[in-house]
Structure 1
Amino acid sequence: MTPVRKTSPLAEPFRPLDWTGLYPPELPKSAVPDHVAVVMDGNGRWANQRGLTRVEGHRAGEAALLDVVAGAIQIGVKHLSVYAFSTENWKRSPDEVRFLMGFNREVLHRRRDQLNEWGVRIRWSGRRPRLWASVIKELQYAERLTQGNSTLTLTMCVNYGGRNEITDAVRAIADEVAAGRIRPSAVSEKLIQRHLYVPDLPDVDLFVRSSGEQRTSNFLPWQSAYAEMVFLDRLWPDFTRVDLWGAIEHYAGRNRRFGGAVDAPSESRGSSVADPE
């Protein structure tokens, strides 16, 4: 394979996927989730426990993200979506918001070549308004640089809110209905899907949150309708690929029914049930 040319003088030295010497559990391909969504929570608490600033906690979380991306590739995950900055994060202090904007930009700049070397395709999901132009520029550059890769798709959710995503999609459809381009009766789940930020983002199979908190925090609600949830009591800077693999093993042991009953005979599933009256 031809080595990837570095596009930034700030790029970190390249690492092999298995730089830790750790290897994933052996699971059937069918047991590995196609799409894993991760809420990277706990940076602030991690810093507080060590007498550090919240900023230092966020910086420590960068290594965890890189490790989890490598671990996802090793075990065979094809889509990984991470909550990098939510629309609710604007409520934080101006100093922290400024740091997070710059930090997201810097991480993309430093790590894009490494991710490209691993065959990762980077995509962005989120709103443009309020997001720094310099962050948008880095996201779009990373998207162009890695658009031909197919080993793993890493969706960076920056300035993202799930309710906002659905609202924006419905508003766009309403505009098309008002303009006469779409009949109201043509509105469907598939049509809404086509108006989401990343229309071809597959449904989430496994939803993981670090830090012990047990909530989804407005992350990918449309895509996570039937996701299996795993909440891990580990702060994000301490999170590793081993934690990801453990969550996937939990997922592999679950029976996903998608609304059906465990003991329903297969031939009866999906058949019509008429009102006897």
Structure 2
Amino acid sequence: MNTIEDIKKGRLPGHLAIIMDGNGRWAKERGKLRVFGHQNGVEAVRQTVETAAKLGIGHLTLYAFSTENWKRPKLEVDTLMRLLVTSLRKELKTLNENNISLNAIGRVDTLPEKALKELREVIRKTSENDGMTLTLALSYGSRDEITTAVKAIASKVKNSIISPEIIDESIINDHLYTRNLPDVDLLIRTSGEYRISNFLLWQIAYAELYFTDVFWPDFSEQHLLEALKSYQNRERRFGKISEQLN
């Protein structure tokens, strides 16, 4: 069993991203409605956020609600939005106690007014914290993000604000929702699915991927430490060969 002391502080991912999957199937196995899984997934979020902050991870991004999730049954969507409001309200004290600032990416303006108001309030009240940045991907889709960036860049070219010749990776980065975040170092997906599901496609170009069969409500501190241990045992070459790294 891994402990926090087993994790090498000098080899932590600077940016950890998580696809929190399996709430619905977790509930179904227990003969409950899918919303029961979402409600129980909140504790896994709390544990993960607190452990990541304790370890000293600089950025944690959670895939909370995708652009495609709006297509789910109304009861489930409404429950997720209510959970967002109540969780933000309840966790504000914990965020401040752990020196965590809240951030959000995606089409957040499409959220219900109450959820959007609560989100902006917590972002404001944690903005002075300079420890870990917790980013919630809400109404987020990576293809939508890239399409929006391309349109913005094309508009600037059309209006002679920038020249096509200077467009490079940094220009594209500057037009993404994640413009203030570093690239992802480690991406975790729970529930046994082996998909990226339209999440941070540009930002995970060289990320290490870690998949676990554990459903999100059961994802504990121990599971996070196992993922981090796996990450620290890997060699990240970024296109080079081992001999060049050594």
TM-score (norm 1): 0.85
Corresponding residue number in structure 1 for 2:191: 211
Corresponding residue number in structure 2 for 1:202: 182
The superposition leaves residues 8-45 of structure 1 with CA deviations (integer Å, 9 ceiling, x where unpaired) of: xxxxxxxxxxxxxx951333322111110001001001
Checking the alignment, whether the CA contact within 8 Å between 1:213 and 1:231 is kept in structure 2 is yes
Corresponding residue number in structure 1 for 2:151: 171
RMSD of aligned Cα (Å): 1.5
Deviates more, 1:33-42 or 1:93-102: 93-102
User: What's the offset of the Cα at 1:225?
Assistant: 0.6
Sequence identity, in percent?
Answer: 44
The superposition leaves residues 97-139 of structure 1 with CA deviations (integer Å, 9 ceiling, x where unpaired) of: 1221222122111212211111111001111453212222122
The superposition leaves residues 201-244 of structure 1 with CA deviations (integer Å, 9 ceiling, x where unpaired) of: 11111100111111111111111110000001100000011111
Corresponding residue number in structure 2 for 1:241: 221
Question: What one-letter code is carried by the residue in structure 2 that aligns with 1:143?
Answer: I
**Cα separation, 2, equivalents of 1:29 and 1:128:** 34
Checking the alignment, whether the CA contact within 8 Å between 1:25 and 1:245 is kept in structure 2 is no
Corresponding residue number in structure 1 for 2:61: 81
1:84-99 equivalence runs, <5 A: 84-99=64-79
**Cα separation, 1, equivalents of 2:82 and 2:156:** 36
3-state SS, counterpart of residue 263 of structure 1: helix
Checking the alignment, whether the CA contact within 8 Å between 1:75 and 1:245 is kept in structure 2 is no
Q: Does the C-alpha gap of structure 1 residues 198 and 139 become closer, same or farther in structure 2, counting only changes over 3 Å?
A: farther
**Cα separation, 2, equivalents of 1:150 and 1:242:** 26
Q: Does the C-alpha gap of structure 1 residues 76 and 201 become closer, same or farther in structure 2, counting only changes over 3 Å?
A: same
Question: What one-letter code is carried by the residue in structure 1 that aligns with 2:163?
Answer: R
Corresponding residue number in structure 1 for 2:32: 52
1:9-88 equivalence runs, <5 A: 23-88=3-68
Corresponding residue number in structure 2 for 1:191: 171
1:110-149 equivalence runs, <5 A: 110-149=90-129
Checking the alignment, whether the CA contact within 8 Å between 1:72 and 1:241 is kept in structure 2 is no
Deviates more, 1:107-116 or 1:249-258: 107-116
3-state SS, counterpart of residue 187 of structure 2: strand
**Cα separation, 1, equivalents of 2:244 and 2:124:** 47
Corresponding residue number in structure 2 for 1:259: 239
Checking the alignment, whether the CA contact within 8 Å between 1:43 and 1:235 is kept in structure 2 is yes
**Cα separation, 1, equivalents of 2:162 and 2:192:** 45
**Cα separation, 2, equivalents of 1:93 and 1:226:** 35
3-state SS, counterpart of residue 156 of structure 1: strand
**Cα separation, 1, equivalents of 2:224 and 2:8:** 16
User: What's the offset of the Cα at 1:70?
Assistant: 1.1
**Cα separation, 2, equivalents of 1:101 and 1:265:** 46
**Cα separation, 1, equivalents of 2:3 and 2:10:** 18
**Cα separation, 2, equivalents of 1:69 and 1:129:** 25
Considering Cα pairs closer than 8 Å and 6+ residues apart, tell me whether 1 or 2 has the greater RCO.
2
Larger Rg: 1
Deviates more, 1:169-178 or 1:124-133: 124-133
User: What's the offset of the Cα at 1:75?
Assistant: 2.0
Checking the alignment, whether the CA contact within 8 Å between 2:16 and 2:61 is kept in structure 1 is yes
Checking the alignment, whether the CA contact within 8 Å between 2:15 and 2:182 is kept in structure 1 is yes
Checking the alignment, whether the CA contact within 8 Å between 1:212 and 1:232 is kept in structure 2 is yes
User: What's the offset of the Cα at 1:74?
Assistant: 2.1
Checking the alignment, whether the CA contact within 8 Å between 1:211 and 1:236 is kept in structure 2 is yes
3-state SS, counterpart of residue 42 of structure 2: helix
The superposition leaves residues 45-92 of structure 1 with CA deviations (integer Å, 9 ceiling, x where unpaired) of: 110011111111100000000000111122221110000000010111
**Cα separation, 2, equivalents of 1:225 and 1:118:** 30
Checking the alignment, whether the CA contact within 8 Å between 2:108 and 2:138 is kept in structure 1 is no
